Amino acid sequence: MAEKLKTPLDCRRYPILERTVGREGDRPLVYLDSAATSLVSEQVAGACTSFLHTSCANIHRGAHILAEEATDAYEGARERLARFFGVEDADRFVFTHGATESLNLAALGWADRWLRPGDVVAVAEDNHHANIVPWQMLAERRGVRVEWIPVNSAGLLDYDAWCRIAEARPRLVALCQQSNVLGAPQPDGLRIAREAQGLGATVALDGAQAAGHGPVAVDRLPCDFYSCSAHKMGGLTGIGALMLSERAAAEMNPVFGGGGMISRVQRAGYEPAPMPAALEAGTPPIAAAVAWAAAVDELEEAGLAAIAAHTSRLAERARHGLAALPGVTVLGNGMPGSFSSLASFTVKGMHPHDVSQALDDAGVMVRAGHHCAQPLHQALDARASVRASFAGYSTEEDVDALVDALSLALEDVR
């Protein structure tokens, strides 16, 4: 028998994986919902706890030692994360509460300032709602025209449709680096982004599902806004980032007003602080930033290339195993290339929530629903789907448990 695949991230660092769950409470926990929120290791939790127990204070304006330590920890985390993501100037790395806030920040701070009624905003149909709704709201506020870059029944972006949109010279193009439903990069995705920038358009790229699954060099990507969330890559919930190109950083307006984002306030008005403080009003998630820096340390220690290869093998194993079951359709199987970290599927005659409940009874945790991607599901002729997603701590046994549990559930239904 072939040797079982080792995990790049040590499963022993994740105490939650020792839990037993299931209908009778005696099944080993099989966590296959990392695309929604990845597990947090002892190392990451320890970094957060250490900060809270030793240097817990607010940042920047305090003169006491705890405030100085907190400021150093927070700004050190920014510099560490900027290096991890390949952002040369850490001042272009803005902390937010997650990818959703990041993309809304781009819409409110840049697009509201520069776009005019009638301007075209091109939106890819495989986007998460976080890279759709802010532009639809912008259309309501500013009268811009949203044009869709559709996907076909296999999930591939329609490049010819993009070429027709390009003739209208869009001002902004919204794309995702990797779909949270299909689990693979679009073959024409970066090509469209490069061509959009060549037309003078600003590109907003949602990297939430790609970050942490392989190396990312944001400054070398054809984008002006890059968004991600820490909790998709081993960090805590409630923190993310918006990374900006030099041009976008120079053209941003502050969105939130208050403490921390100003240089001066008088009765006559205010003067915003330089970047990135201008976009970080109020008290930031300081401890979460420290934890996120620890998470990327752990990812780099494991090796991003090793994690990418590992989760890709698991995704392929899951897709093949699931597709072999009667009545199961795996979404995106017509896409070329490899799948990086997940498998979404439907079961004929079963609602995705019922499938998820049957798997939960067997101790297998998956996600069921439209995954905040309703337009994509509609294009794929699927009301919703079940999604199994993998991380560096996932194992071959996890995949086999998924396929076996679903096979038994199908037998029960029959």
Cα pseudo-dihedral 309, 176, 160, 338, rounded to 10 = 10
Three-state DSSP at 244 gives: strand
Q: How far apart are CA 310 and CA 209, in angstroms?
A: 16
DSSP string, 329-341: EETTTTS-S---S
CA distance linking residue 241 with residue 157, whole number of Å: 26
Q: How far apart are CA 184 and CA 207, in angstroms?
A: 12
Best CA proximity match to 42, nearest among 23, 77, 17: 17
**Is 176 a known active-site residue?**
no
Q: Which of 48, 56, 223, 372 is catalytic?
A: 372
Element (H, E) at 80: helix 65-84
Rounded to a whole number of angstroms, the distance between the first and last alpha carbons of the chain is 32
Q: Is the peptide bond before 134 cis (omega within 30 degrees of 0)?
A: no
CA 319/CA 339 separation, integer angstroms: 9
CA distance 281 to 121: 28
Helices (H), 85-152: 99-106, 112-114, 133-142
In sign, the C-alpha dihedral spanning 391, 388, 385, 321 is positive
Q: How many CA atoms lie within 13 Å of 303's alpha carbon, on the beta-carbon side? A: 7
**Which residue in 238, 129, 143, 236 sits closest to 174, CA to CA?**
129
- Separation CA 225–CA 19 (nearest Å): 39
Q: Which of 154, 133, 129 is nearest to 370 (CA)?
A: 129
Residues acting as catalytic residues:
372
